[in-house]
Structure 1
Amino acid sequence: MALDATFFALVGLILFFVLLAYLKVPGMIGKSLDERSNNIRNELAEAKRLREEAQQLLAEYQRKRKEAEAEAAQIVAAAEREAAMMTEEAKQKTEEFVARRTALSEQKIHQAEADAIAAVRSAAVDLAISAAEDVIAKKIDTDKQDALFKDSLHKVQSRLN
Structure 2
Amino acid sequence: MVEILTDAHFWVGVALVVFVGVLVMAGVPGLAAKAIDARGLKVQSQLDEANRLREEAQGLLAQIKTQREQSEKLAAEIMANAREEAQRLQADSQAKLAEQIERRGQLAERRIAMAESQAAAEVKAAAADLASSMAERVLTQRLAGAKTDPLVDKAISQLAGKLQ
> Aligned residue for 1:81?
84
Equivalent runs, 1:117-156 vs 2, <5 Å:
117-140=120-143, 151-152=158-159
C-alpha displacement of 1:140: 3.3
C-alpha displacement of 1:139: 2.8
C-alpha displacement of 1:148: 5.8
Where in structure 2 are there 5+ consecutive unaligned residues?
A: none
CA distance in 1, matches of 2:17, 2:72: 76
CA deviation map 1:93-122 (0-9, x unaligned) = 111011011101111111111011111101
Structure 1 stretches of 4+ with a deviation exceeding 3 A read 144-157
Q: TM-score, normalised by structure 2?
A: 0.86
Q: CA RMSD in A?
A: 2.4
> Aligned residue for 1:72?
75
CA distance in 2, matches of 1:138, 1:155: 20
State the one-letter code of the partner of 1:62: K
Moved more, 42-51 or 18-27: 18-27
Q: TM-score, normalised by structure 1?
A: 0.87
- Percent identity reads 39
> Aligned residue for 1:55?
58
Where in structure 1 are there 5+ consecutive unaligned residues?
A: none
Aligned residue pairs: how many? Answer: 157
CA deviation map 1:14-65 (0-9, x unaligned) = 1111221122111111001000110111011001100100110000000000
**Aligned to 1:140, what secondary structure does the other structure show?**
helix
> Aligned residue for 1:38?
41
CA distance in 2, matches of 1:54, 1:148: 119
**Aligned to 2:90, what secondary structure does the other structure show?**
helix
State the one-letter code of the partner of 2:103: R
